[in-house]
């Protein structure tokens, strides 16, 4: 019979890193400023370099409404909707160029 | 499985598929209500090497509405965690499992219970219990030699007085799926069907020998009423609660080749729900089934048309020519709206009401002031048993026969005295029975069939 190991492996280990409220709050605070604002931003603000501090993965971003320039960010059990028409336009261009 | 694989999306997600919901005044503890929510349809007992279990990435919930607006006032949330003691073996167990802490038991699940007061995504939440053990699945005589003891050890009493169990149970619902979905045939009446087969056939319970995964909770009645009182008057609106269960997944799922193959992110999105039996199964049309699963009971007025003019009512006279001449007039069905969407008001059935108000919502409606019956009828209210379906739902209530007879017109005279049901309406049944008796105590559903030896015949 297989030897009994002492260590435990939890399939939820990844979810635990993302689902805890405190972790999510801390992760949110390290998001780039454009992601926290719900208002439309000017193009120069959206071109700021990526923040080196990122929330614990996964962070999923998707274009929620291209016509409105809306991007939704999914992290932990939260959804944050922000507007960034410039970024959406660049994403759509990348898709067309692919 | 009064709701199983009933919608296109959930048919491919058995771990999140609500199959049955039961709610009744506990017969051996009548100051409490037992609510049972089942998941994973047609669960084959011989399920190794990775036996069936709850989803670690699914949010399972049981909701109670005690003020009739179709919005939950109390929610019990269940989250599961799989624990693998030794990932270096393929074995679920390395020897006989004799206790819930037996080192031979390799793949285990534990769970937490959280109570939310008010809307389930906004109300204050209190964790009632953590690391509560599920029992192992019933593998066989070598691996789980004393299964009853293992299951008994997995009944937990929470500090706030609720009793909980989460694990594998025997499938208590019986139905001749093979015949019912072969153009609406009921084997006892095969000779009357439009496509006549050679004489009546012996009914076959398609769920025989299968298991489910059950979340059961027994709650003091006063925890569920709107004012904390213990209900004693069946005519009091406060005695009635609405109940439904659901399963939700996070909005995004990311698959990445590597040690963490699956990662989830985002808010919870409801992918399955269940109040009354058989609604999404045979009342809601195909094009709306996935949508129905995502919706909240408070918005169920949008589906009322399928209750007032059920498709099955049109089909029965076609499938059984000459048998349902009165039903063939296709009468409007406010009785079905009352029974299934608002509850039955007082004054229609002597000594009974389970009316929650004008808000149309699909919920099991339980009048907690009506005591368990000393001579229960599997036909519930139709059998003169006020403690049976649609007053909540007990494990042994024959909801297939009850709803078939109701849709065939038996209940229409309650609101339309001028309608005479066809004689055949009161006889409808698929002819099946469950061959395993329920337990006399919590969690009431029978012990699961073992993988080593079981039969579906």
pLDDT digits (tens, 9 = 90+) for B314-337: 999 999 999 999 999 999 999 999
In the predicted model, what is the mean pLDDT of residues B403-412?
Answer: 97
Q: Which residues of B touch A77 (CB under 8 A)?
A: 250, 266-268
User: Which pLDDT score is estimated for A45?
Assistant: 37
Judged by a CB distance cut-off of 8 A, whether residue A97 touches chain B is no
**Preferred mutation among B93, B111, B266 to probe A, highest tally of A CBs within 10 A:** B266
Min Cα–Cα distance to chain B from A85, Å: 22
ipTM of this complex: 0.80
Record: contact A1-B94, CB cut-off 8 A: yes
With a CB-CB cutoff of 8 Å, which residues 55-74 of chain A face chain B? 57-60, 62, 74
In the predicted model, what is the mean pLDDT of residues B176-189?
Answer: 92
> B55-59, B182-186, B213-217, B439-443: lowest mean pLDDT where?
B182-186
In the predicted model, what is the mean pLDDT of residues B59-78?
Answer: 98
In the predicted model, what is the mean pLDDT of residues B132-140?
Answer: 98
Judged by a CB distance cut-off of 8 A, whether residue B269 touches chain A is no
In the predicted model, what is the mean pLDDT of residues B119-148?
Answer: 97
In the predicted model, what is the mean pLDDT of residues B387-413?
Answer: 97
> A51-55, A88-92, B295-299, B438-442: lowest mean pLDDT where?
A51-55
| Half-sphere exposure at residue B28, Cβ-oriented, CA atoms within 13 angstroms | 7
Min Cα–Cα distance to chain B from A16, Å: 10
Residues of chain A with pLDDT under 70: 1-56
Judged by a CB distance cut-off of 8 A, whether residue A79 touches chain B is yes
Record: contact A18-B265, CB cut-off 8 A: yes
B421, B410 Cβ separation under 8 angstroms: yes
Min Cα–Cα distance to chain B from A80, Å: 9
User: Which pLDDT score is estimated for B259?
Assistant: 83
Q: What distance in Å separates the CA atoms of residue B211 and residue B43, rounded to the nearest whole number?
A: 5
| Helical (H) or strand (E) element with A45 | helix A43-46
Give the whole-number percent of chain B exceeding pLDDT 90: 94
Residues 6 or more apart whose Cβ sits within 8 Å of residue B355: B237, B240, B342, B343, B344, B345, B346, B365
User: Which pLDDT score is estimated for A55?
Assistant: 59
User: Which pLDDT score is estimated for B199?
Assistant: 67
User: Which pLDDT score is estimated for B431?
Assistant: 92
pLDDT per position as a tens digit, B13-53: 999 999 999 999 999 999 999 999 999 999 999 999 999 99
Q: Which residues of A touch B260 (CB under 8 A)?
A: 13-14
C-alpha distance from residue B254 to each of A13, A60, B258 (Å): 15, 8, 12
User: Which pLDDT score is estimated for A7?
Assistant: 31
Record: contact A18-B263, CB cut-off 8 A: yes
Which among B89, B263, B266 has CB closest to A77?
Answer: B266
| Helical (H) or strand (E) element with A28 | helix A21-29
Q: What are the start-end ranges of the H helices in B127-267?
A: 147-153, 177-180
Judged by a CB distance cut-off of 8 A, whether residue A18 touches chain B is yes
Judged by a CB distance cut-off of 8 A, whether residue A75 touches chain B is yes
Which among B251, B254, B263 has CB closest to A79?
Answer: B251
Min Cα–Cα distance to chain A from B188, Å: 48
User: Which pLDDT score is estimated for B179?
Assistant: 93
User: Which pLDDT score is estimated for B258?
Assistant: 86
User: Which pLDDT score is estimated for B417?
Assistant: 96
């Amino acid at each position: 019979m297989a030897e009994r190991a002492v260590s435990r492996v939890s399939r939820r280990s990844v979810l635990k890193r993302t689902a805890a409220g405190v972790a999510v709050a801390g992760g949110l605070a390290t998001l780039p400023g454009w992601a926290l604002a719900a208002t439309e931003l000017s193009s120069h603000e959206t071109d700021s370099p990526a923040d080196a501090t990122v929330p614990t993965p996964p962070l999923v971003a998707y274009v929620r409404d291209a016509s409105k320039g809306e991007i939704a960010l999914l992290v932990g059990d939260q959804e944050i909707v922000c507007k960034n028409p410039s970024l959406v336009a660049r994403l759509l261009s990348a898709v067309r160029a692919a | 499985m009064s709701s199983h694989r009933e919608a296109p999306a959930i048919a491919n997600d058995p771990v999140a598929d609500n199959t049955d919901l039961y709610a009744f005044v506990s017969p051996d503890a009548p100051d409490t209500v037992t609510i049972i929510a089942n998941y994973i349809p047609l669960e084959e007992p011989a399920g190794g090497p990775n036996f069936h279990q709850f989803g670690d990435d699914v949010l399972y919930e049981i909701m109670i509405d005690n003020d009739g607006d179709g919005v939950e006032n109390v929610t019990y949330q269940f989250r599961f965690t799989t624990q693998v003691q030794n990932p270096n073996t393929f074995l679920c167990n390395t020897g006989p499992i004799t206790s819930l802490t037996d080192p031979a038991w390799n793949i285990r699940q534990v769970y937490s219970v959280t109570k939310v007061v008010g809307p389930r995504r906004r109300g204050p939440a209190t964790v009632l219990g953590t690391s509560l053990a599920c029992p192992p699945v019933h593998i066989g005589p070598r691996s789980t030699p004393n299964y009853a003891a293992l299951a008994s050890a997995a009944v937990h009493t929470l500090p706030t007085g609720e009793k909980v169990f989460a694990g594998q149970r025997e499938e208590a619902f019986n139905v001749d799926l093979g015949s019912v979905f072969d153009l609406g045939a009921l084997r006892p009446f095969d000779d009357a069907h439009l496509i006549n087969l050679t004489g009546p056939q012996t009914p076959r319970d398609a769920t025989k020998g299968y298991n489910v995964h059950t979340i059961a909770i027994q709650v003091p009645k006063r925890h569920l009423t709107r004012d904390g009182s213990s209900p004693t008057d069946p005519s009091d609106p406060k005695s009635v609660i609405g109940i439904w269960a659901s399963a939700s997944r996070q909005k995004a799922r990311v698959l990445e080749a590597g040690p963490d193959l699956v990662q989830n992110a985002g808010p919870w999105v409801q992918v399955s729900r269940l109040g009354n039996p058989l609604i999404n199964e045979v009342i809601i049309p195909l094009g709306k089934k996935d949508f129905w699963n995502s919706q909240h009971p408070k918005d169920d007025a949008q589906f009322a048309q399928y209750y007032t003019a059920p498709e099955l009512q049109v089909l029965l006279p076609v499938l059984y020519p000459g048998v349902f001449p009165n039903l063939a007039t296709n009468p409007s069905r406010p009785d079905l709206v009352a029974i299934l969407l608002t509850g039955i008001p007082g004054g229609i059935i002597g000594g009974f009401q389970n009316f929650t108000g004008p808000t149309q919502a699909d919920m099991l409606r339980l009048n907690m002031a009506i005591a368990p019956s000393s001579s229960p009828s599997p036909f519930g209210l139709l059998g003169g048993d006020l403690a049976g379906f649609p007053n909540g739902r007990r494990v042994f209530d024959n909801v297939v026969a009850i709803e078939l007879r109701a849709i065939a017109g038996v209940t229409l005279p309650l609101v339309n005295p001028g309608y005479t049901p066809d004689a055949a309406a009161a006889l409808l049944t698929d002819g099946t029975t469950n061959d395993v008796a329920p337990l006399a105590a919590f969690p009431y559903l029978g012990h699961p069939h073992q993988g080593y030896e079981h039969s579906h015949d």
